[in-house]
Structure 1
Amino acid sequence: MTMSQPLTDEERLTLKTGAFGAVFLVSNADPGMFAMLRESFAASGAMAGASGPVKEALTTGPLPRLPRDSALEVEAVVLPALGRAVEILRAKSPGDVAAYRSLVLAAADQVARAHRGVTPAEAEVIDRIRGALAEPA
């Protein structure tokens, strides 16, 4: 799909913050060192399926900086970034909105399933991610 305008550095960082942050939220919902290793492989496998502007956003530029103090602070950054990412894509590359949503949800699901299946805490985080990616009513 051809974009009406290229993504700015800030817009690419917003897409990356949403996608990587969603994976981080799911991974931290049921923490553990061994789980984290398996989950990071699962996330990278899902992210490898990106294409077009979504792939460009996820593979270029700096890594997002997420708060380190609490999961609530991370969520307060990531969930709005997911919503903003959908808005950015809707405005600049509408055909990529569904691909971004699918990629983020697939990565979150694969991370949750990577170690002992999806826990209730992980399922709850995925539901919040899904809500943040939803079209406004």
Structure 2
Amino acid sequence: MEQRLTDEERLTIKTGAFGAVFLVSNADPGVLGVIRESIAASGALADASGAVKEALTTGPLPWLPRDSQLEIESVVLPALRQAVLILRDKSPSDVEAYRSVVLTAADRVARAHDGIAASEAAAIDQIRVALSEPT
């Protein structure tokens, strides 16, 4: 049985998803790729459904640090882990959909400009680990 998400839970889910995109984009920064990356990510995130879509399309935009990759990681990776726990508890049927949407968006961002750089691949690996079930 699915339960309604709180505003805080929706923001955590959104922080994880949008933050994952930003984490990959920031891993190999460049002005020319930003527009292509944004379009690529928005297409993937728009494919969300159910509780994930609700979380991604309602409420305020999440705050993400902009100073360093480590600071971004310190916000995004815990948000991804928490989002999986929230969905597992409140909307188990959406856990796999969330993982898929986030990883697809991250992959599309990485591929949007000149292929996947090693730093982008490393960021995607971090995202994949954060989205895995806790042991």
TM-score normalized by the length of structure 2: 0.98
Distance between the aligned counterparts of 2:27 and 2:103, measured in 1? 15
Distance between the aligned counterparts of 1:115 and 1:67, measured in 2? 23
Partner residue of 1:103 out of 101, 104, 108: 101
Matched ranges for 1:1-137 at <5 A: 3=2, 5-137=3-135
Structure 1 runs (4+) greater than 2 angstroms displaced: none
Query: AA paired with 1:52?
Result: G
CA shift for structure 1 position 71: 1.3
Distance between the aligned counterparts of 1:70 and 1:32, measured in 2? 15
Structure 2: 5+ residue stretches without partners? none
Question: Secondary structure of 2:134's partner?
Answer: coil
CA shift for structure 1 position 136: 1.4
Identity %: 73
CA shift for structure 1 position 69: 1.8
Q: How many residues align?
A: 135
Distance between the aligned counterparts of 1:71 and 1:30, measured in 2? 10
Distance between the aligned counterparts of 1:119 and 1:70, measured in 2? 18
CA RMSD, Structure 1 to Structure 2 (Å) = 0.7
Structure 1: 5+ residue stretches without partners? none
Distance between the aligned counterparts of 1:44 and 1:83, measured in 2? 21
CA shift for structure 1 position 68: 2.1
The superposition leaves residues 9-42 of structure 1 with CA deviations (integer Å, 9 ceiling, x where unpaired) of 0000000000000000000111111101100000
TM-score normalized by the length of structure 1: 0.97
